[in-house]
């Protein structure tokens, strides 16, 4: 990870937060704890916040058009139900703001092939079949850099999995500034904090919880009902030992650590607090407590999402109005980028 930017590098920029989520499937607990919940907390601290359904990212792998449309609206509903207020934050759909794709092209000409080839997400998703992966999947991190820098965003709250892409965003900004002799783009700070920056699969403590995991039992979807949530937690993989009496005792026990971290993030406490209150318990006792907590926290969000989804036209209106506000910030920054690069703008 690139070193934290010295304060003076970003002092010329208004503090501004940007982040996005792909509408590539159902939202899950990892997206909620690693992203959505923290987005709402940031907004509530009064920082200018811009959040986006990154549909251009989603199509780097195949999406059925009807599913993409549904997932985009469902994701917007998830943002709002998790506490994002579209009047205070800017909430929109990436493809409605063409400046993202335009700046991404410019960054395709700044980023180096070698940088992209080293991205672990590219290697994981393209796997052994790189010849058949889309060009968009390879260039994904340059689009992500454009998403962030087209707003001169200074901070990006993300889960641990996005750390390397954020580092590349900083590299692109630094190379652009250096090549053109300007201090035009901020060196954006990743904000990766809290107990649930990497929520793991419920079936395998070494893999992150993910939309694309073929096993639905590996994740808790934000649309799961109470019974399904309880069943998935009951069946979550664990070891036969009780919970340890201190945090060191979680060493080498990734599944136990994952459940403790999930509990802490849902209860807004620390893993130490969870061990203090539940240390020594068998999973037969701890899992029902965790299931009750998860249902209590997620059920209101899921029912609000369902309610919002009854009125897709209203969701589209919210996204359209967010896109207009987003363009007011993005358009002049893109225009200035063209000028710096020497394009004649008439
Ligand atoms: N397991 C996770 N724990 C914590 N945070 C997570 N995030 C994703 N998974 C976890 C965070 O959610 C935000 C949006 O992620 P995304 O949907 O844009 O991309 P992703 O990371 O690729 O999510 P998935 O679920 O793993 O999707 P697929 O399976 O399609 O690749 C980001 O802030 C991410 O850090």
pLDDT in tens, 255-299: 999 999 999 999 999 999 999 999 999 999 999 999 999 999 999
CA–CA dist 126, 129 (Å, integer):
6
**pTM here?**
0.92
Mean per-residue pLDDT for 212-217?
92
Above 70 in pLDDT, residue 22? yes
Residue the block writes with tokens 């053109």: 180
User: Residue 298: which CATH number?
Assistant: 1.10.240.10
The answer to whether the beta carbons of residues 234 and 296 sit under 8 Å apart is no
In the prediction, which pLDDT does 195 show? 78
Statement to judge: residues 133 and 228 lie in one domain: no
Active site residue 208: yes
Statement to judge: residues 164 and 33 lie in one domain: yes
User: What is the whole-number distance in angstroms between the Cα of residue 159 and the centre of ligand 1?
Assistant: 7
pLDDT class of 6 with cuts at 50, 70, 90:
very low
Burial (0-12, 13-18, 19+ Cβ within 10 Å), 210: middle
Residue whose CB lies within 8 A of the most ligand 1 atoms, among 17, 210, 215, 257, for a mutation test: 210
Q: The domain containing residue 161 runs over which residues?
A: 6-197+312-341
Query: Could you please report the per-residue DSSP string of 166-194?
Result: HHHHHHHHHHHHHHHT---S--PEEE--S
Report the Cα 113 to chain-centroid distance in Å.
24
Active site residue 37: no
In the prediction, which pLDDT does 127 show? 86
Nearest alpha-carbon partner for 42 in 156, 150, 189, 148: 156
Burial (0-12, 13-18, 19+ Cβ within 10 Å), 11: exposed
Counting atoms of ligand 1 from 1, which one is nearest the CA of 25? 30
Average pLDDT value for the chain = 94
Statement to judge: residues 251 and 189 lie in one domain: no
**Best mean pLDDT range from 4-18, 37-51, 75-89:** 75-89
Statement to judge: residues 286 and 322 lie in one domain: no
Counting atoms of ligand 1 from 1, which one is nearest the CA of 57? 18
Indicate the helix (H) or strand (E) that contains 17: strand 16-21
Above 90 in pLDDT, residue 102? yes
Counting atoms of ligand 1 from 1, which one is nearest the CA of 199? 3
Active site residue 125: yes
The total number of structural domains in the chain stands at: 2
Report residue 217 as tokens: 């039992």
């Amino acid at each position: 990870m690139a070193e934290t930017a010295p304060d003076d590098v970003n002092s010329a920029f208004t503090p501004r937060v940007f982040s996005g989520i792909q509408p590539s499937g159902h939202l899950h607990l990892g997206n909620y704890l690693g992203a959505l919940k923290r987005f709402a907390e940031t907004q509530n601290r009064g920082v200018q916040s811009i959040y986006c359904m990154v549909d251009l990212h989603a199509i780097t792998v195949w999406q059925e058009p009807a599913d993409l449309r549904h997932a985009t609206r469902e994701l917007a509903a998830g943002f709002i139900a998790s506490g994002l207020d579209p009047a205070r934050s800017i909430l929109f759909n990436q493809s409605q703001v063409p400046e993202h794709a335009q700046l991404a092209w410019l960054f395709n000409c700044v980023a180096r092939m070698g940088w992209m080839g080293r991205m672990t997400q590219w290697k994981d998703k393209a796997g052994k079949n790189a010849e058949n992966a889309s060009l968009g999947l390879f260039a994904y991190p340059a689009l992500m850099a454009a998403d962030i820098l087209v707003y001169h965003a200074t901070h990006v709250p993300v889960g641990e999995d996005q750390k390397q892409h954020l580092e590349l965003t900083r590299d692109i900004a630094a190379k652009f500034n250096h090549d053109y002799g300007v201090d035009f783009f901020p060196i954006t700070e990743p904000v990766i904090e809290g107990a649930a920056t990497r929520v793991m699969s419920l079936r395998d403590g070494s893999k992150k919880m993910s939309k694309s995991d073929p096993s639905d039992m590996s994740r808790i979807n934000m649309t799961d009902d109470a019974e399904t949530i309880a069943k998935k937690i009951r069946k979550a993989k664990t070891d036969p030992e009780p919970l340890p009496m201190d945090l060191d005792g979680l060493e080498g026990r990734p599944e136990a650590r994952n459940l403790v971290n999930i509990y802490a993030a849902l209860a807004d406490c620390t893993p130490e607090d969870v061990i203090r209150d539940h240390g020594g318990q068998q999973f037969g006792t701890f899992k029902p407590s965790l299931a009750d907590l998860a249902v209590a926290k997620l059920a209101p969000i899921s029912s609000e999402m369902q309610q919002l989804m009854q009125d897709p036209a209203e969701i589209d209106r919210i996204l359209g109005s967010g896109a207009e506000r987003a363009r007011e910030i993005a358009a002049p920054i893109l225009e200035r980028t063209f000028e710096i690069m020497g394009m004649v703008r008439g």
